Amino acid sequence: MTTAETTFPLSFTHHPSSAARAEAEREIILADPGFGKHFTDHMVQIDWDIETGWHDARVTPYGPLMLDPAASVLHYAQEIFEGLKAYRHADGSIYTFRPEKNAERLQRSARRLALPELGVDDFVESIKQLIAADGQWVPDAPETSLYLRPFMIANESFLGVRSAQKVGYYVIASPAGAYFTGGVKPVSIWLSTEYSRAGKGGTGAAKCGGNYASSLLPQAEAYENGCAQVLFLDSEEGKYVDELGGMNVFFVYKDGTLVTPALTGSILEGITRDSIIQLAKDRGHTVEERRFSLEEWKRDSEAGEIVEVFACGTAAVVTPIAQLKTPDFTIGDAEAPAGELTMAIRQELTDIQYGRLPDRHGWLTRLDA
């Protein structure tokens, strides 16, 4: 699509909330934030239209959006999003992890969903601006964070089917408790045999709400079968492992080799996935990105060749997978403990994110200075 010229970088105006929570109220929320339930006092908003491009970047009080009932996002799901975290370091400073990767991925998602691209610097600046207003909402208890949710929607009031000429980009933030309270616990996952997440040429590589909408029914099936997450196979042959509803997967072999499904176009390119590939290579492990079949998983697991399986993504970081359940068979043992390498990588990654280990790959960006 053609996009109008926009002046870079965008400059932000601030409109402080008159209803900002007092410190005592905030502290009560931060003591037990859960995930995705509470939101900070402000949000970022940047408008786009086909004539002027991106404009009116602002930090406003957090609150409901005014959307026309004909807003195209409500009808044709032209929506994309991102997820990243702000981490409080021991000295009180606030950092985020590889935000330019989220910015680039949002641009790729935008291209696929025929939405306008926001500049990488503007994306990073939008997060800094929200932290400037709401930095006190970054909790400091171990393994807690402020989850940042940038998203973009088509908000033109028009029911014709074409890409919207009016778009909004927003960032909201939600304090997040430690994902696993009482220690990291391996999960069982459910194989969806009936549904797929993404087809060839579809939107699997874009981080868009539509992919999630189609994963909710199979996810509910996973819950019914006592599983925490759903695993999808490729939609063409139904043979190869793609990923979970919202996390990528890794297999660890006895000889130390890691295997993760190659990015075929139907898999979301996780930033956690990419970082783990790097950390595993740094440790001297071979990492294979390739097609990996369910059959191989079953065979190599039963032969004792696969010794650990884990899922990864920003929200839960690394989750050990104890067992795969399918309608016909199971792989692994639900009571199996978390794998050693799984836990070591989880520790190393979070140590880097929280500033407990040197940032040797230049992955951190300071947000509060």
Ligand X SMILES: *Cc1c(COP(=O)(O)O)cnc(C)c1O
CA distance 179 to 39: 17
State yes or no: residue 247 binds ligand X (CB under 6 A). yes
List Cβ neighbours of 309 (8 Å cut-off, separation of 6 or more).
249, 250, 251, 252, 297, 320, 321, 324, 332, 339
Residue 309 and residue 173 in contact, taking contact as beta carbons nearer than 8 Å: no
What DSSP letter does each residue of 11-74 carry, written as one string? --EE---TTPPPHHHHHHHHHS--SSS---SEEEEEEEETTTEEEEEEEEE-------TTBTHH
- Rounding to the nearest 10 degrees, give the CA dihedral for residues 227, 228, 230, 231: -90
State yes or no: residue 145 binds ligand X (CB under 6 A). no
State yes or no: residue 242 binds ligand X (CB under 6 A). no
Contacts with ligand X: how many residues (CB under 6 A)? 13
Q: How far is the CB of 82 from ligand X (least distance, A)?
A: 8
State yes or no: residue 277 binds ligand X (CB under 6 A). no
**C-alpha distances out from residue 1 to 114, 118, 169, 204, 332, Å:** 7, 14, 17, 21, 48
Residue type, 69: P
**C-alpha distances out from residue 292 to 185, 288, 318, 326, 343, Å:** 25, 10, 20, 17, 23
Nearer to ligand X, 45 or 248 (CB): 248
Nearer to ligand X, 150 or 246 (CB): 246
CA distance 164 to 1: 10
Q: How far is the CB of 272 from ligand X (least distance, A)?
A: 3
Q: How far is the CB of 59 from ligand X (least distance, A)?
A: 24
Judged by CB under 6 A, the chain residues 60 through 99 that form the site for ligand X are 83
Tokens of 228: 């925490």
State yes or no: residue 261 binds ligand X (CB under 6 A). no
Query: N- to C-terminal Cα distance for the chain?
Result: 36
The single residue among 130, 146, 153, 268 that binds ligand X, judged by CB under 6 A, is: 268
State yes or no: residue 271 binds ligand X (CB under 6 A). yes
State yes or no: residue 266 binds ligand X (CB under 6 A). no
Nearer to ligand X, 59 or 349 (CB): 349
Nearer to ligand X, 78 or 272 (CB): 272
The single residue among 139, 175, 218, 270 that binds ligand X, judged by CB under 6 A, is: 270
Point out which span in 2-10, 69-77, 267-275, 349-357 binds ligand X (CB under 6 A).
Answer: 267-275
Residue type, 15: H
Site string for ligand X, 151-190 (x = CB under 6 A): ----------------------------------------
Residue 200 and residue 266 in contact, taking contact as beta carbons nearer than 8 Å: yes
Q: How far is the CB of 275 from ligand X (least distance, A)?
A: 8
Q: How far is the CB of 110 from ligand X (least distance, A)?
A: 15
Point out which span in 183-191, 242-250, 256-264, 300-308 binds ligand X (CB under 6 A).
Answer: 242-250
The single residue among 192, 196, 272, 342 that binds ligand X, judged by CB under 6 A, is: 272
Parallel, antiparallel or unpaired: strands 79-81 and 317-325: unpaired
State yes or no: residue 339 binds ligand X (CB under 6 A). no
Tokens of 254: 């006895």
The single residue among 203, 248, 260, 323 that binds ligand X, judged by CB under 6 A, is: 248
Can you tell me which residue has the tokens 């065979």?
A: 299
Residue 354 and residue 96 in contact, taking contact as beta carbons nearer than 8 Å: no
Nearer to ligand X, 30 or 249 (CB): 249
Nearer to ligand X, 59 or 189 (CB): 189
Judged by CB under 6 A, the chain residues 300 through 329 that form the site for ligand X are 313-314
Nearer to ligand X, 12 or 150 (CB): 150
Check whether the bond before 9 is cis (ω within 30° of 0).
yes
The footprint of ligand X (CB under 6 A) covers: 83, 207, 243, 246-248, 268, 270-273, 313-314
